Amino acid sequence: MRLFIAILLLLAAAVFGVVQLAAVVAPVGTKMADGADPFGSPHAAWHQHALFTLFIVACLFVAPRLLRRRRNG
């Protein structure tokens, strides 16, 4: 079960990382979706980019912790 959750967290981090990178690197005036994606604009508010980044960091922090073996001692 822990392995499954860790894999889901890593996949979520990868997907959100690609979306965030595309949002930041996208040329000005282009849209990733039909205007339905508020995070697709490079001119999104700073807190939206910060929330994405914090979510990615949290996923990358928690996933290895789930797979760590406990020490007996």
pTM for the model: 0.70
Query: Domains in the chain: how many in total?
Result: 1
- Is 14 contained in some domain? yes
**pLDDT at position 71:** 75
Q: What is residue 40's DSSP assignment?
A: G
Residue 47 falls within a domain, yes or no? yes
Ordered per-residue pLDDT tens for the chain, 73 residues: 889 999 999 999 999 998 888 777 765 555 555 555 555 555 667 788 888 889 999 999 999 999 887 777 5
In terms of DSSP H, where are the helices of 1-73?
2-25, 46-67
Per-residue CA distances from 69 to 2, 48, 64, 65, 72 (Å): 11, 35, 10, 9, 9
- Domain of residue 25 covers 2-67
Q: Let me know if residue 61 belongs to a domain.
A: yes
Q: 60 in a domain, yes or no? A: yes
Q: Please indicate, yes or no, if residue 19 is contained in any of the structural domains.
A: yes
Residue 57, in any domain of the structure: yes
Cα 6 to Cα 38: distance, rounded to the nearest angstrom: 28
39 occurs within a structural domain: yes
